[in-house]
Structure 1
Amino acid sequence: MSSFSNVTVDAKANVYFDGRVVSHTVHFADGTKKTLGLIYPGKFHFGTAAPERMEIIAGACEVILDGTTEVITIEAGTAFDVAGNSGFTIKVIDGICEYICSFLPA
């Protein structure tokens, strides 16, 4: 997806890991929300409250879901799901990884 219509965007950025991960929240009329963000090179762990789908729209990353040891390579045009009350470690080796995070129903 390259654009969203009829949304409200929070101008204040969500900044994590000293600016190595930055996103903005997008609110939809139906009450759902997504975040659009950038991940710079590094390795970062995120916890989840609600289930999430992470779509990689540019760049690439490696992901390890909590409770597993498998390293999954995710490239632009693909996605991975994370269970609620869980988490994942994401690693960007070079370049910038761009993503859309959708918060899914529990």
Structure 2
Amino acid sequence: MINVNEYFGGAVKSLAYTAADGKSTIGVIETGEYEFGTSTPETMTVIEGELIALLPGETEWKSYTNGQSFKVAADASFKVKTTGQSSYLCKYQ
């Protein structure tokens, strides 16, 4: 089944689904800065655009663009910001 998720007043929208290798979401983020939390480890891959992330334990923001990924451990929060609409694939382990 596909579930629709909406966060931050509709500025972040995703579709959640279960693939052969586990749960995933694919989504779009509007221009802005957002903080997310995760209860399971996840890998975010930028499909289109740019996500600038401040990951747990880091002090500097890092840019990720088309095809690049970053990982976040379970029970952590992280920040992302965009300067334009960006899309991503998030795989949960």
TM-score by length of 1: 0.82
Gaps of 5+ in 2: none
Gaps of 5+ in 1: 1-8
* Correspondence for 1:19 among 5, 10, 28: 10
Moved over 3 A (4+): none
Greater strand content: 2
Residue 66 (structure 1) shift? 2.3
1:1-106 superposed matches below 5 A: 9-10=1-2, 12-29=3-20, 32-94=22-84, 96-104=85-93
Superposition RMSD on alpha carbons, in Å?
1.2
Structure 1, 66-75 or 80-89: larger mean CA deviation: 66-75
* 1:16-60 superposed Cα distances (whole Å, 9 cap, x missing partner): 000000001111245x11000000100000011000000001000
Identity of aligned residues (%): 35
Query: Residue 5 of structure 1 aligns with which residue?
Result: none
Paired residues, number: 93
TM-score by length of 2: 0.93
